[in-house]
Amino acid sequence: MPDLSSSASASKLEESYDRVTPAIALNANGGGRGLFRDFVDSFKKKQDDDVVGYDEETGTSSKMKKTIKSRHLLMISLGTGIGTGLLVGNGTALAKAGPGGLIIGYGVASAMLYCIIQAAGELGICYSGMTGNYTAYSSLLVDPALGFSVSWVYCIQWMTVFPLQLVTAAITIKYWTDTNPDIFVAILYFLIVFINLFGAKGYAEAEFLFNTCKVLMMVGFVILGIIINCGGAGNDGYIGARYWHTPGAFSTGFKGVCYVFCYAAFAYGGIEVMVLTASEQENPRKSIPSACKKVIYRILLIYMLTTLIVCFLVPYDAPELTSTGSASRASPFVIAIASHGISVVPHIINAVILVAVVSVGNSSLYSAPRLLLSLSEQGYAPKVFNYVDRQGRPLLCFLVAMFVGLLAFIAASDAEEDVFSWLLAISGLSQLFIWISICLSHVRFRDAMKAQGRSLGEVGYKSQTGYWGSWFAIIVSLFVLVAQFWVAIAPIGNGGKLSAKDFFQSYLAAPVLIFIYFGYKIYYKDWRLCIPATEVDLNSHRKIFDEDELKQEDLDWKEKMRTASIWVKIYHFWC
């Protein structure tokens, strides 16, 4: 069984993903030959003497320059994941469930997600330097087999998201032109690869720009949507709740609500990436709680409010919602504006949809290699993937992700829609498994702390939804899995007849997870359901805070806020 509480020598690469400044820009000699030599040398393996620090408290060493700042994390927490699921997938979800079903489905998913993010924030600060971050929590705190299976499924998910987003981008561009889509796939493929050659800083700066565009578009859409609904723009006058009466609030009843859950999981996917970046943040204890607090704004304003606006502007029986061809024509955001006689804004929204798709592709190429690297460092993947070059890039893992991304060049074939559906099948349900594992890890962490007589005062940040919030998220997630299984075996349409293709496109990730989980159990002959709470290792990899120091910091902060201006108090209350 892989040793998850290894010494510093076994985890010396765990924070070494990116030194971020490309060697090609660091040539001191200025000569062309020197530039080329430095560029070639940058791909050589990073040596042990490159380690810049060792944390005796957590038992981790680092070669990495921490380059992700609070402003980056703000936009990552607000905008990462705003892509295909929300901007395009909601169209199909609206057609299947109706506006009432869509809002209920997203409301349940939103409540669950807030609890998940709070649990991830608490564990993210405790284990900010741990190899694999939240993909490794369950191995240490719950069961190695669960950690192994969830980590692999999650890695596969992010591997497939990269070509999925490129295919989506090619479909989106069809809104403007029918030129061979592989041309645009190639352009975007090399753009995303180029960005990620700059490591964490390149990723963070690109996401800051991409997510700013996405958030501004969402704000603009809400304002324009309200104006259109009230009759201030467009050619339909006052709309109000017209489409909630005709054709109605629900398309297929409760089954439609169940159908929304998987789309909501896919739409919210990636929101936990801010925890994956913990080892590359300058001050996780400061930035992660702030980001967790801001997630509520993303849930309420970017997801719930925009979805509500769409539900007031687009009837669920609009033929464009289920159209084939350009995905952006099926985007409810484009339909909401274009169907009411406004001709210019849909092109702007379509451009932002393209930016959003590229952004999620960028996140996938950032996340997938690091997840594969963490699997290798935990002993869950071949050691050859431990290779980290002198610029801190997980080079071989990066090459694997690039190779998987070549699947996107299927965009020019007649099988484009099928490839999209299968890639989406792998990506959608996998998200639920990682969320369940995060909450299970949080529950077992709290159980172990109690069983071993440890104080929660050692924890740098405590989940605002607490122990029972994680249980709530677990129960809802399991309900979503059951609901999705029901929809998979009795799909909406076609008379509810079961189709093997439709079933596996809805539930493909589940058999993959089960196969990997029991494969681990059989190979290692470890049949424990979970690690007993009294045996959970609460020392390895964890940063243990001094309770007295934390109390003093809290007292100092309260005193500072007591004398602060009203505007400072308002800012820190909300942010």
Q: What is the rounded average pLDDT of the residues 60-75? A: 56
**Residue 325, pLDDT score:** 53
The continuous run of DSSP H or E covering 55 comes out as strand 53-55
pLDDT at 4: 39
Closest CA to 399 of 437, 434, 441, 368: 368
103 has pLDDT over 90: yes
Q: Calculate mean pLDDT across residues 201-230.
A: 87
| Confidence class for position 473, pLDDT limits 50, 70, 90 | very high
- Grade residue 104 by pLDDT with cuts at 50, 70 and 90: very high
Arithmetic mean of pLDDT, 76-95? 77
b or e along 379-389 (b: 16 or more beta carbons within 10 Å of the residue's beta carbon)?
bbbeeebbbbb
Q: What is the pLDDT of residues 193-209, one digit of tens each?
A: 998 888 777 888 888 88
Kindly report which listed range (46-50, 271-275, 299-303, 371-375) carries the lowest average pLDDT score. Answer: 46-50
- Give percent of the chain with pLDDT exceeding 70: 76
Supply the pLDDT for residue 566: 85
Banded pLDDT at 8 (limits 50, 70, 90): very low
Least confidently predicted of 128-142, 205-219, 331-345, 367-381: 128-142
pTM over 0.85: no
For residue 66, the model assigns a pLDDT of 56
If phi > 0 it is left, if psi is from -120 to 50 it is alpha, else beta; for residue 27 that is beta
- Position 28 scores a pLDDT of 44
User: Which residue has tokens 């393996």?
Assistant: 45
3-state secondary structure 497-565: CCCHHHHHHHHCHHHHHHHHHHHHHHHHCCCCCCCCHHHCCCCCCCCCCCHHHHHHHHHHHHHHHHCCC
| pLDDT band at residue 2 under the 50/70/90 scheme | very low
Average pLDDT taken over every residue of the chain: 78
Does position 1 have pLDDT exceeding 80, yes or no?
no
At 234, list the tokens.
Answer: 């467009």
- Asked whether the predicted pLDDT for residue 535 surpasses 70, the reply is yes
Give pLDDT, residue 437: 92
Alpha carbon distances (Å) from 501 to 102, 188, 425: 25, 30, 11
Question: What is the per-residue pLDDT for 489?
Answer: 82
Of 53-57, 78-82, 102-106, 111-115, the one with minimum mean pLDDT is 53-57
Q: Given a cut of 70, is residue 36 above it in pLDDT?
A: no
- Average pLDDT for 458-487: 89
Residue closest to 126 by CA, chosen among 141, 116, 111: 141
Radius of gyration of the chain (CA): 24
**481 CB-near residues (< 8 Å, 6+ apart):** 429, 432, 510
3-state secondary structure of 92: helix
Top pLDDT among 294 and 144 is at 144
Residues whose CB falls within 8 Å of the CB of residue 389, separated by 6 or more in sequence, listed in order:
42, 43, 44, 45, 46, 395
Please enumerate, as own/partner, the contacts of 412-419 that have beta carbons within 8 Å and a separation of 24 or more. Answer: 412/180, 412/181, 412/182, 416/167, 416/170, 416/171, 416/181, 417/324, 419/167
Two tokens, residue 110: 């939103």
CA distance 461 to 463: 7
SS3 281: strand
Domain with residues 8-544, CATH architecture: Up-down Bundle (1.20)
Cα-flanking dihedrals φ and ψ of residue 330, to 5°?
Answer: -90, 0
Let me know: does 66 contact 281? Beta carbons within 8 Å. Answer: yes
Q: State residue 162's pLDDT score.
A: 87
Does residue 65 or residue 337 have the better pLDDT? 337
Q: Which amino acid, 423?
A: L
Residue 54: per-residue pLDDT: 43
Is the pLDDT assigned to residue 312 strictly greater than 70? yes
Between 72-86, 284-298, 341-355, the lowest mean confidence (pLDDT) is in 72-86
Q: Give the CB-side neighbour count of residue 542, counting CA atoms within 13 A.
A: 20
The residue-averaged pLDDT of 540-565 equals: 81
Q: Is 497 a residue whose pLDDT tops 60?
A: yes
Confidence of residue 350 (pLDDT cuts 50, 70, 90): confident
Q: What is the pLDDT of residues 314-327, one digit of tens each?
A: 999 888 787 655 54
Length of the chain (residues): 575
Q: Where are the domains of the chain?
A: 8-544, 548-575
Measured CA to CA, the distance from residue 1 to residue 520 in angstroms comes to: 9
Query: Would you say residue 57 has pLDDT above 70?
Result: no
Task: Report the 10 Å Cβ neighbour count for 106.
Answer: 27
Within its chain, how far is the Cα of 314 from the centroid?
28
